[in-house]
Amino acid sequence: MAIAVVLFLLVNVAFFCAVPKAQQMGSNLDITTLFFQNIFGGGVVSRVMAGVIAFSISGNLVVMTFTASRVKQEIAKEGILPYSLFFARGHTTFIARIWSRYVTKQREHLEQTPIPALFLHWLSSIVLIAATSALKPMAAYSALASLYAYTTHVMVGLLVSGGFLYLYLTPSRRWDAKLNYRPFGKKLQFPIHALFYLLACIFPLVTIFAPPSASSPFFSNTWYVVPAVGISAPLWGLLWWAVIKLWSRSTATELVVHRVPNVEEDEEDPGQYILVAEVVDHAWVVQGKREVAGA
């Protein structure tokens, strides 16, 4: 980890040493391409580097698709989405069956793909692409990348670090008694790292709303769109939570979720366990009577 951190910092130092600020501000190319053009010229090396960047981006897309679809599946398992049981299901794909039959020779416990949840991820991606289709490719990419960074790194980091501090500073939660891991010894010390991360998230959260000067290369008449959409994203979840609460109160019912996991020990790694399957069911029941009101 220390080696990765040092190399990451040195790579950024190399970029700034090899690519002048004026060139960074005045070019539509990414800094990596500019770096290799300045160092090796615009020949084969630059084209090879462009391919490496494309390969890296494709890997990131695969990882995000893998993660996002499973996050949406877990949300569906909590019963808070329309047709939750449909989106919570997993399916064994045709490719998985072929792979297990001819490559791994193992036909039991095939990993299931959350195809319905993957459809939700695909649909949200299409909506974002369509919303920025009127922009130039570089402007659209910049807007989507900024929106992703603002929501994922800033907003999520703010909520996680803030929630960590809330649990620590609220004795009634008795969060310290539930910990199995304490990073600072037997007694949990004040989480200064969470406080630092919270402040680091608050800074871009607020300063991004400051309009750039007209002479800045980042100036735009719609500079506020990305942070406005980003900061409203968690509010959509709160709005949906309020709708569920109002429905529960108006119908005098509550959402009850039953999740029964099927866990087996990993034969190849004794002591480790694998979630083979999970049975999920939820229903709206009458408060206090535990009678099924609907599914």
Residue 55 has pLDDT above 60, yes or no: yes
Largest CA distance in the chain: 75
Residue 294 has pLDDT above 60, yes or no: no
Report domain extents, the chain.
17-131, 134-211+223-238, 252-295
- With the CA atoms of 63, 66, 69 and 73 taken in that order, what torsion angle do they form, in degrees rounded to the nearest 10? -130
Instruction: Give the pTM.
Output: 0.76
For residue 293, the model assigns a pLDDT of: 40
- Say if residues 201 and 157 touch (Cβ distance below 8 Å): yes
Note the pLDDT tens digit of each residue in 3-33. Answer: 999 999 999 999 999 999 888 877 777 788 8
- Say if residues 295 and 268 touch (Cβ distance below 8 Å): no
Nearest Cα to 148, choosing from 68, 238, 242? 68
**Single-letter code of the amino acid located at 185:** G
The CA distance from 279 to 257, in Å, is 11
Residue 231: exposed, middle, or buried by beta-carbon count in 10 A (0-12, 13-18, 19+)?
middle
The CA distance from 70 to 43, in Å, is 42
Give residue 289's pLDDT band: very low, low, confident or very high (50, 70, 90): low
For residue 137, the model assigns a pLDDT of: 83
Mean pLDDT over each residue of the chain, to the nearest integer: 84
Find the mean pLDDT for residues 63-83.
91
Bridge pairing between strands 253-265 and 292-294: unpaired
Note the pLDDT tens digit of each residue in 92-146. Answer: 888 877 877 777 766 565 678 899 999 999 999 999 999 999 888 878 888 888 8
Measured CA angle at 74 (ends 119, 141), to 5 deg: 50
